[in-house]
């Protein structure tokens, strides 16, 4: 029984090393993930501010570097605000947040015609049962990236 278990284990190990049909050798197997795919990330802000924090600049820089060499087809920057303050002030704040992120990405070398700013203000900041949604002081960035 022990010999059968060892033989079965060895057979499974060898089977795991088999190449996929159509692959001639291991050099045909892509091991690097393709980063030129649609991406999503968030940029957070301090309460009632639209100025980028150091952490936000770092996140934007990392994404810009990661997607360097990709075709950036479209970037949707969605500005959000929490429910505090008036609707007009929250729309203005979410617009300034979206613009700050778009300008930082443009400064990092992304093409400006592909940006779309979407302003949500406080819309969706309160749930149907009246509870405030946490973490609304942010922008959501949706990047349509593809290989060149």
Where is average pLDDT lowest: 1-5, 70-74, 90-94?
Answer: 1-5
Q: What is the pTM of this model?
A: 0.72
The CA distance from 141 to 110, in Å, is: 13
For residue 132, give the DSSP letter. Answer: B
Instruction: Look at residue 111 in the predicted model and tell me its pLDDT.
Output: 82
Are 86 and 55 in contact, with CB atoms under 8 Å apart?
no
Query: What is the CATH classification number for the domain harbouring 129?
Result: 3.30.1330.60
Where is average pLDDT lowest: 64-68, 95-99, 131-135, 138-142?
Answer: 131-135
| pLDDT band, residue 5 (cuts 50/70/90) | very low
Residue 2 is assigned to a structural domain of this protein: no
Which domain range does residue 135 map to? 34-147
Residue 43 is assigned to a structural domain of this protein: yes
The answer on pLDDT for 3 being more than 50 is: no
Instruction: Look at residue 144 in the predicted model and tell me its pLDDT.
Output: 94
The CA distance from 71 to 76, in Å, is: 15
| pLDDT band, residue 52 (cuts 50/70/90) | very high
The CA distance from 41 to 62, in Å, is: 11
* Cα dihedral 51/56/58/61 (nearest 10): -80
Residue 12 is assigned to a structural domain of this protein: no
Residue 88 is assigned to a structural domain of this protein: yes
The CA distance from 55 to 64, in Å, is: 14
Burial class (CB in 10 A: 0-12, 13-18, 19+), 62: exposed
Q: Which two tokens stand for residue 124?
A: 């969706």
Q: How many domains are contained in the chain? A: 1
Instruction: Look at residue 79 in the predicted model and tell me its pLDDT.
Output: 95
Residue 100 is assigned to a structural domain of this protein: yes
Q: Which residue from 127, 101, 95, 82 is spatially nearest to 40, judged by alpha carbons? A: 101
Question: What is the pLDDT of the chain when averaged over all its residues?
Answer: 80
């Amino acid at each position: 029984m022990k010999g059968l278990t060892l033989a079965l284990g060895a057979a499974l190990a060898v089977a795991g090393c088999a190449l996929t049909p159509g692959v001639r050798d291991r050099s045909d197997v892509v091991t690097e993930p393709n980063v030129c795919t649609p991406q999503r990330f968030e940029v957070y802000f301090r309460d009632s501010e639209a100025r980028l924090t150091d952490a936000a600049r770092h996140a934007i820089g990392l994404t810009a570097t990661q997607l360097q060499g990709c075709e950036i087809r479209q970037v949707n920057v969605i500005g959000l605000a929490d429910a505090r303050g008036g609707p007009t002030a929250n729309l203005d704040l979410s617009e300034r947040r979206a613009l700050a992120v778009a300008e930082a990405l443009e400064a990092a070398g992304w093409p400006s015609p592909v940006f779309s700013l979407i302003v949500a203000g406080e819309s969706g900041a309160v749930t149907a049962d009246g509870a405030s949604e946490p973490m609304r002081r942010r922008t959501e960035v949706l990047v349509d990236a593809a290989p060149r």
